[in-house]
Amino acid sequence: MSTATAPAPEAAAAAPGSPQRREGLFRAAWRHGRTKVGVTLVGVIVLIAVIGPFVSPYSPTELVGIPNRASVDGTVFGTDGIGRDVLSRFLHGGYTLISIAVSAALGGVLLGTVLGVIAGYQRGWLDEAIMRVNDMALAFPQLVLALLVMSIIGPQVWLIVALIGVSHACRVARVAREATLKVVEQDFVKSAEAIGLPRWRIMTAEILPNITSPLLVELGLRITYSVGLIATLSFLGMGLQPPTADWGLMINENRIAVTVQPWSVVLPVAAVALLTIGANLITDGLSRASIGIDRGVEKQ
Amino acid sequence: MSRLILYRLGYGLLTLFVVSLVVFLATQALPGDAARAILGRDATAERVAVLRDQLNLNDPLALQYGKWVAGVFTLDLGDSFANARPVAEYLGPRVAGSLTLLGLSALLATPIALLLGALSAIRRDRAADHATSMVSLVLASLPEFAVGILLILALSTGWLHLLPPVFAGTASAVLADPVQLILPVLTLAIAVSPPIVRMMRASMIEVLESEYVQQARLKGLSERVVIWRHAAPNAIGPVAQVIAVQLGWLAGGVVAVEFLFAFPGIGLALMDAISTRDIPVIQAITLLIAAVYIVVNLLADVVGLAANPKVRVSAR
């Protein structure tokens, strides 16, 4: 959004490539109220997901009462479709979702960065090859690609991480390449080339430190989408499989009974919603701090 | 300009070809025996043989692909495994159902999003602008199925039983009971709007600061005329591309929404086909969605080129 405040002085003043720059980005992002709200939301949900399994009153697969009752003795939020404790399943259901989503996003950003920097710095046929293959992979909506591949092999956790990670990587590679192209033209890269630094050294020591801001924004965005995509896959029954406790799966299993026992749907939906909103607020704060233009909206 | 467009078209065709290869390889040419993977370990040798024959699995890979693509062009996509009807006949009404859903969502979302974006730009940095920006940021974060469930929770449960949470009807008559369409259309419209709002706001701000708008104001035209006759029409150009991209995204986003509301379209058909491993239907739907996505993105590119005077002039 163009009204975003100008990049904070720290971020602008710090010499490119110095470690202060990144610290400056986080501090500049923190100035925006939305970043604080985002960090709080994400913090609360992650805390629930991490501590939840240790404090849950029952096991997530234990039958504790009559199915689909909102008030059952000894439970806070009643029972789900086959009589398990809703609160216990909720407390157990976030950990896998978050860890799968974050690994897919991290893997995707890592792979995308490597591809994008190589394409942007080496140029020539390698650039063409990487970016053209990329375009082909971008022709599938992320969800449809994941569904297509899993339709025959079946839902597997490693496959979900790989598919979502790779489809992120294609999108990250574009951003990393654009950022690299801007850096490559600058004098310090030219001088590093002149003194004969090996090309891989230039890529890791000269270019990479100077494109961390857009990459961090991209990471935030990818985590937001990962959570949404993986929750959607579980909701469609193509993610984690029963009897695992998982927020997306809980919604899928209990949505038919939502009128008689809303809690088993309300809790996981609220958690997924707050988590993605929080992650996107942080991303928006980061991107306002880094370039003044926010990318936190486009669905790609 | 026209050369650039031709280039994009050729590139789009190439992409379509590669996409068809991916769809084919992912479903039919997996390492191991696809027929056995579909039928499971307990299947009799006889059934596996029948299925292998149906999928042309005994032919060499290139010939299998050729036969399948030829089928795509003649709309002879084979018979569905699950209901034994020809795939084209089975999917026809569902495609129409999904198109109705998408069309209504686009018709609802686009004007409202454009208006909100323009109003935000006019009331820049005031409360209404901040509120719109915050709401669109929040809505943009939510996965579309979550939007749908929140709407169901708000409008179909508890005290309010305003709208039916599940679609009850057949694919051939989705418009028979329009009330049932409200929730799915609303969900998709909400999911698709935020980027349009943002882009319209940014574009409108740029136009409002331009010299010809200043000129119009100096001429003494009323602010209403300046905004709605001079500024808004010029601001829409750059937004057209974002709108097109969002509509392409709808083609994929429709899967989760149709599944949630049990709406009889291609998204629900895809999930049904996956649960029964109905390969011909899976192939047809994923190829269709990817094709729509490619074509719409291509249109977005062309619109983007046409809206950019620099390209229009220099690349003639």
- Chain B residues closer than 8 Å to A280 by CB: 137-138, 140-141
Per-residue pLDDT tens digits for B224-242: 888 888 888 888 877 887 8
| Distance from C-alpha of A211 to C-alpha of A173, rounded to nearest angstrom | 12
SS3 sequence, chain B?
CHHHHHHHHHHHHHHHHHHHHHHHHHHHCCCCCHHHHHHCCCCCHHHHHHHHHHCCCCCCHHHHHHHHHHHHHCCCCCECCCCCCEHHHHHHHHHHHHHHHHHHHHHHHHHHHHHHHHHHHHCCCCHHHHHHHHHHHHHHHCCHHHHHHHHHHHHCCCCCCCCCCCCCCCHHHCCCCHHHHHHHHHHHHHHHHHHHHHHHHHHHHHHHCCHHHHHHHHCCCCHHHHHHHHHHHHHHHHHHHHHHHHHHHHHHHHHHHHHHHCCCCHHHHHHHHHHCCCHHHHHHHHHHHHHHHHHHHHHHHHHHHHHCHHHHHHCC
Which contacts qualify for B213-218: CB closer than 8 Å, 24 or more apart?
A: none
The answer to whether A153 contacts chain B (CB < 8 Å) is yes
Provide the sign of the torsion angle of the four alpha carbons B63, B69, B72, B77, taken in this order.
positive
Range scoring the smallest mean pLDDT among A8-17, A216-225, B97-106, B237-246: A8-17
Nearest neighbour of A262 by CB, restricted to B23, B142, B153: B153
Rounded to an integer, what distance in angstroms lies between the CA atom of residue A93 and that of residue A185? 48
- Subunit contact A297:B137, Cβ cutoff 8 A: yes
Average pLDDT over residues B193-215: 88
Residues of B numbered 153-192 whose beta carbons fall under 8 angstroms of chain A's beta carbons: which are they? 153, 156-158, 165, 191-192
Q: Do A281 and B137 touch (CB under 8 A)?
A: yes
Whether residue B255 lies within 8 A of chain A, CB to CB, comes out as yes
Partner B contacted by A1 (CB < 8 A): yes
- Residue B30 with chain A: CB contacts under 8 Å: 152-153
Query: Number of CB pairs < 8 Å for A and B?
Result: 170
Could you tell me the pLDDT band of residue B309, with boundaries at 50, 70 and 90? Answer: low
Cβ <8 Å between B30 and A277: no
pLDDT, position A176: 92
Q: Are B141 and A141 an interchain contact pair (Cβ–Cβ within 8 Å)? A: no
Cβ atoms of B297 and B248 closer than 8 Å: yes
pLDDT of residue B296: 84
Which candidate from A135, A236, A262 shows the least CB-CB separation from B256?
Answer: A236
Interface contact B249-A143, CB threshold 8 A: no
pLDDT for the residue numbered A49: 93
**Can you give the pLDDT at residue A8?**
39
Residue of B nearest to A226 (CA): B143
Q: Mapped to the 3 state alphabet, what secondary structure does A172-218 carry? A: HHHHHHHHHHHHHCCHHHHHHHHCCCCHHHHHHHHHHHHHHHHHHHH
Instruction: Report how far residue A191's alpha carbon sits from residue A106's, in angstroms, rounded to the nearest whole number.
Output: 32
The pLDDT assigned to A291 comes to 65
Contact flag A140-B246 (C-beta cutoff 8 Å):
no
Chain A residues with CB under 8 Å of B270 CB are 147
Instruction: Select the residue from A1, A133, A170, A288 to test the B interface by mutation, using most B Cβ atoms within 10 A.
Output: A1
Structure token digits, residue A279: 């992650």
Q: What is the mean predicted confidence (pLDDT) over B204-231?
A: 86
A60 and A96 in contact (C-beta within 8 Å)?
A: no
pLDDT digits (tens, 9 = 90+) for A186-228: 888 888 888 988 888 889 888 888 888 889 989 999 999 999 9
ipTM of model over 0.90: no
Instruction: State whether B198 and A297 contact (CB < 8 Å).
Output: yes
Hey, of B137, B205, B254, which one would you mutate to test binding to chain A, going by the most A CBs within 10 A of its CB?
Answer: B137
